[in-house]
Amino acid sequence: MRACYAGRPPKNLTMAENETPVLRFAPSPTGFLHIGGARTALFNWLYARHTGGKFLLRIEDTDRQRSTEAAIAAILDGLSWLELNWDGEPVYQYARAARHREIAEQLLAEGHAYRCYATPAELEEMRTKQRAEGKPMRYDGRWRDRDPSEAPPDASFVIRLKAPRSGETIVHDVVQGDVRFANENLDDMVLLRSDGTPTYMLAVVVDDYDMGITHIIRGDDHLNNAARQLQLIHALDWPVPIYGHLPLIHGPDGAKLSKRHGALAVDAYRDMGYVPEAMRNYLLRLGWSHGNDEIISTEQAIAWFDLEHIGRSPSRFDFKKLDNLNAHYLRATPDAELAKEVEALLERMQPPQSLSGVARTRLQALMPALKERVKTLIELATAADFLYADGPPALDTQAEKALTPDARKLLRDDVLPAFEKSEWRAETLEAAARSLAERLGMKLGQVAQPIRAAVTGKTSSPPIFEVLAVVGKEESLARLRAYAG
């Protein structure tokens, strides 16, 4: 169901501080949900949950050529993965076009808007002249005070806002402070196009009003839009929402965030092995602070979040910090839950991989040791791959080097005979290996490393004797035999 809202009674004042907050996240489905949008959604969600208000979702799909169902699905999926649950049904802006046109006609009837009959050729000529004279390119108001009867019969027109020409428009912003715009630099924006479709500026203002939005928290690339939208709000005698414009996110080098920095779709972070708790914590710290706290649980974030501690400077995206946070949350995740996360990741990969009951049991049993060594679910899934199937594992480059002819001979002549008669517990296996090393005049590591390479296919793993106990006697001995010289 696609939700729509009707109008609400006008209230000619700024939103009261004690009014129940209603916030919204309003992405355009012309692309996927990226990291900046995810942070904006998080800040809105946190403030709504902190204040006991509402967090609404609006899909601004008025750009019919560029909006896609795939992008809408990705936005909904990304928010769901981040566990940013919205209240009610999503509102789809395009479905509300009739309401937007109604408001444009109302402004026209009240004298706050006018019909502009300037042709595309005339507008291009106007811009060319302004460009040649070094002037800012903006509409010159040529139809602002003319009688529509002067237009040619059946001429097409747009409806423009009759914006104030003097003075200034001030955006009172809880993040940026007061931001002032000279009205002479803001032209009469189009509200309704010649084909009767509403513009983004009109649709946003009407939708925010009808949805009862009290706070607008968004990126500071919308600051200019805020000034224009305020002029429209004043013309309609509607309440002014509380604004907060967030500084943009930059890369580690201070440059505009790009794909090489981490400007990826949110689902890419999921596929890279990050968990939603870590992403929420990391995004929270990209522009908001609570003393020197770095690790902030979602419960703490909801309890502490406010608008006053949003910084004014751009944040810098840092994968190292994200990795460290992710590692913390992986270690804090219960073993059974983390094993399910790994299994879900394997099922999403190409080709998908499913685990047997034995593999699932092995994975969960070894999880306490595995999760201490990794930073992402991908690393965890890779580190545990020797648990997924029976048979000798494929050797990585270092494991091949470790299994020299002498090492293989050691496995055949010494390790296998010692292990075959050993009780199959980590402690007894380690004791057998130590006894063997002492008898041969070797260090424990010289005995353990060939065992690790043969059983796991790697030279780095959780404690090898714990691994042997989890893999089991029959399977471990079979792997050792496969690589014994």
Q: Is beta strand 54-59 parallel, antiparallel or unpaired with respect to 91-92?
A: parallel
Q: Write out pLDDT tens, residues 143-167.
A: 999 999 999 988 999 999 999 999 9
Q: In terms of domains, do 362 and 247 share one? A: no
- pLDDT tier, 254 (very low <50, low <70, confident <90, very high otherwise): confident
Q: What mean pLDDT comes out for the span 8-36?
A: 74
- Computed over every residue of the chain, the mean pLDDT equals 92
Q: In terms of domains, do 450 and 485 share one? A: yes
- pLDDT tier, 263 (very low <50, low <70, confident <90, very high otherwise): low
Q: Write out pLDDT tens, residues 427-485.
A: 999 999 999 999 999 999 999 999 999 999 999 999 999 999 999 999 999 999 999 97
CA distance readout (Å), 285 to 94, 215, 279, 305, 309: 34, 21, 10, 11, 11
Q: In terms of domains, do 82 and 209 share one? A: yes
CA distance readout (Å), 78 to 41, 265, 267: 11, 8, 6
Q: Is beta strand 215-219 parallel, antiparallel or unpaired with respect to 242-246?
A: parallel
Q: What mean pLDDT comes out for the span 199-224?
A: 96
* Of the residues 290, 313, 332, the one at which a domain ends: 332
Q: What mean pLDDT comes out for the span 421-431?
A: 96
Phi, psi of 335 (to 5 degrees): -60, -45
- pLDDT tier, 8 (very low <50, low <70, confident <90, very high otherwise): very low
Q: What is the CATH number of the domain that holds 421?
A: 1.10.10.350
- Domain with 239 in it: 10-89+201-332
Q: Is 254 left (phi over 0), alpha (psi -120 to 50) or beta?
A: left
- Give a yes or no: residue 265 inside a domain: yes
Q: In terms of domains, do 263 and 406 share one? A: no
- pLDDT tier, 330 (very low <50, low <70, confident <90, very high otherwise): very high
Question: How many percent of the chain have pLDDT more than 70?
Answer: 95
Q: In terms of domains, do 304 and 443 share one? A: no
Q: In terms of domains, do 213 and 76 share one? A: yes
Q: In terms of domains, do 219 and 323 share one? A: yes
Cis upstream peptide for 392 (omega within 30°): no
State the amino acid at position 94 in one-letter form. Y
Q: Write out pLDDT tens, residues 332-381.
A: 999 999 999 999 999 998 899 999 999 999 999 999 999 999 999 999 99
Q: Give the number of other CB atoms < 10 A from CB of residue 104.
A: 22
Q: In terms of domains, do 338 and 262 share one? A: no
- Give a yes or no: residue 94 inside a domain: no
pLDDT higher at 247 or 14: 247
pLDDT of residue 40: 97
- Give a yes or no: residue 480 inside a domain: yes
pLDDT of residue 32: 85
Q: Is beta strand 158-161 parallel, antiparallel or unpaired with respect to 190-192?
A: antiparallel
Catalytic residues: 259
* Of the residues 387, 411, 431, the one at which a domain ends: 387
Q: In terms of domains, do 209 and 300 share one? A: yes
- Give a yes or no: residue 270 inside a domain: yes
**Can you give the pTM of this predicted structure?**
0.90
* Total number of domains in the chain: 3
Q: What mean pLDDT comes out for the span 326-335?
A: 97
* Of the residues 387, 403, 432, the one at which a domain ends: 387
pLDDT of residue 18: 60
Q: What is the CATH number of the domain that holds 299?
A: 3.40.50.620
pLDDT of residue 141: 84
- CA–CA gap between residue 385 and residue 359 (Å, rounded): 10
Q: In terms of domains, do 471 and 360 share one? A: no
Where b means 16+ CB within 10 Å and e means fewer, 304-317 reads: bbebeebeeebbbb
